[in-house]
Amino acid sequence: MHGEANPSRRIRTGLFEVDLRSGELHREGVRVPLQEQPFHVLSVLLERPGDVVTREELQTRLWPAETYVGFDEGINTAIRKLRLAFGDSADNPRFIETLPRRGYRFIAPVNEPPALSNSSAEAAAVTPAPNSAENIASPSPASMPFSKWFWRIGIAAALLMLLIGIGAYLLQRRSSSSAVTPRRMMLAILPFENLSNDPSQDYFSDGLTEETITDLGELSPEQLGVIARTSVMTYKHTDKTVSQIGRELGVDYILEGSVRREGGRARVSAQLIRVSDQTHLWAENYDQELHNLLDFENDLGKAIARQVEAKLSPQRENALARVRTVDPEAYDLYLKGRYYWNQRTPAGLRQSVGYFQQAIGKDSSFALAYAGLADAYNISSILGVLAPKDSLPQSRDAAEKAIALDPNLAEAHTALGVEKSHYEFDFPGAEKEFLTALELNPNSAYSHLFYSNCYLMPMARVDQAIAENQKALELDPLSLPINNFMAVTYAFAGDYDKSYRQFQRTIQLDPTFPLAHEYLAARLFMTGKYEQAIEENEKAELLGGMSPEKAAAEAAAKLKIFRSGGEEAFWQRDLEENLQAYKRDMKSVSASALASAYARAGHADKAFEWLDKAYEERDGQDITLVKYDYAFRNFHHDPRYSAFQKKMGLPE
């Protein structure tokens, strides 16, 4: 089959079925997890199966001209994840062939399932296909003339109006209930569908979805829980029913809607649905003129306060009553920054820093942009994109600036709490920031997560840490990092059975998530299951970008050493490999990693020497949790261990 693929249909290839409309891949009826960008690449390849699609064409179609860095890394990662999803091989391809320095070709036979019925075909034609050749041109932002900023602010204003209706409806139902206090209602806001016939504006509709989640989450958190962005974005372009989504997310209500711009007007449609019986409880269409919209947005904030005054704290009323203005271009740059920050890749994080800095350059009083910049620096440190000394002081400066501009910004307090824990080792200060963030927005999944892992676990308050992680999971049940941290927390608590089950759940959500395999390997090493651990570590290396041949060879070498020399020989070889990597590139191995490597190999003097070096380098992500580092299990009675705990401000 050649020619352009019809985006409304499904395509079969071997045991797989590709649904171009919903953006899903299935193998024999079972969904295969696949992220959005690899699916976009697959869609382009399926437009012309058997033909070469050049790297230049893919870059033009899927990566915007303004992208600073990351095309090579992005396309290589996308192709690697596609091969993992299809069980394919670069050396002996059955689905995707690489033509060095040219591009890629989908080589497997493809065909279509039986045609839809007339009624189904008509229904499918109503909604523009998200992954068609027209619509996947670029999922990333592109520059636009200033005149077009107005319609975007109009959409934001209209979305704020939705908050009035939704909040009033839900709170009215709560206040009219019986004297018995029911449990907190849970709401999921599905990604607003972009009906503007311009896929490059997806970042904008996604960003407004995220901002709406945050705003509504702060409305009345004691009565209303709102599912976080990560989980709801899983349902972008989904064809699942409200009942299915509600069951998977554990919510009572779902809000779904769309955004469309027509000439000088913006149209926002939304409806609120009760999951239990799929009843449409509330619906509204907003057709908004695009004039003087910044003033109009301020008026909407005051209107929200009037609508739900009886249900809001004085602090929240004052926050909503304040007049807030922001440069339209700065707001757009902020949404771009969040778009790339949410990708959690090295290239994406670097771009997010750039966009947040540009937003601040456009509007130096824009508190959200400073909070975004603090988040970008924090995650860059956590993922090893930047060294702690190159990122965390900048995070602190940005977070403090955000708080000075807006003390009620929960995101900024969370970011500052992470910095105080990981860099300053100021645990009382970190606790204060996390508790402030949770008071301001109890519906922030990441505030619960970081409170658990950056404060409660270092302070050995394990039961509370588990409870906070569980709250984070309730708010963001499909988040891979939160699920993974839950498994790690169980392991630190010594509950290895729960830890193993939680790792399996995380891997079931996305088998291509490398950190789940990496941390599961560490848990298996802790319990002496070396051969299984080596197997999981091989998967992590493969998913992290290592070639299949090299990953297999390294796993075989490790297995041979363990079988012939036991644990002692295994960890001595591991230490030598870490030292060689450090010699090649000092930035590739952290001081805390070398401290652990020396400890596992039984070299106490060197282990404590490098532990002190990690302290000097403020490598706080690992050493704040040194109490749970299995490598140091035999050194807890060493006076140097107690001295280090005391120096860090950690309980002994």
pLDDT in tens, 208-255: 677 677 666 666 666 667 887 778 877 887 778 888 888 888 888 888
Flag whether pLDDT at 119 surpasses 50: no
Answer for the pair 26, 226: CB distance below 8 angstroms, yes or no: no
**pLDDT at position 163, please?**
53
Q: Of residues 584 and 332, which shows the higher confidence score?
A: 584
pLDDT in tens, 30-59: 778 788 888 889 989 988 888 889 988 888
pLDDT in tens, 547-573: 889 999 999 999 999 999 999 999 999
What's the rounded Cα separation, in Å, for the pair 498 and 479?
A: 18
pLDDT band (50, 70, 90) for residue 644: very high
**pLDDT at position 149, please?**
38
Helices (DSSP H) in 386-529: which residue ranges? 388-405, 410-419, 427-440, 445-451, 462-475, 480-492, 496-509, 514-526
- CA proximity to 245, closest of 235, 257, 255, 236: 235
**pLDDT at position 137, please?**
33
3-class SS shares of the chain: helix, strand, coil, % to 5:
60, 10, 30
CB atoms within 10 A of CB 532: 15
Look at 129-133, 375-379, 579-583, 596-600 and tell me which has the smallest mean pLDDT: 129-133
Residue 5's identity, in one-letter code, is: A
Q: What average pLDDT does range 6-12 have in this prediction? A: 65
Mean pLDDT score across all residues of the chain: 78
What single string gives the DSSP state of each residue in 416-438? HHHHIIIII--HHHHHHHHHHHH
pLDDT in tens, 437-464: 998 888 888 899 999 999 999 999 999 9
pLDDT in tens, 164-198: 555 555 555 544 444 444 456 788 888 878 777 66
pLDDT in tens, 266-275: 566 667 778 8
Q: For tokens 């009553």, what's the residue?
A: 321
What's the rounded Cα separation, in Å, for the pair 376 and 476?
A: 20
**pLDDT at position 251, please?**
83
Look at 300-304, 349-353, 357-361, 587-591 and tell me which has the smallest mean pLDDT: 300-304
- CA proximity to 353, closest of 60, 62, 69, 73: 69
> Alpha carbon of 507 to those of 12, 377, 462, 481, 536: distances in Å?
25, 27, 24, 11, 11
- CA proximity to 22, closest of 135, 152, 130: 130
The model's pTM is 0.65
What single string gives the DSSP state of each residue in 348-395? HHHHHHHHHHHHHHH-TT-HHHHHHHHHHHHHHHHTTSS-HHHHHHHH
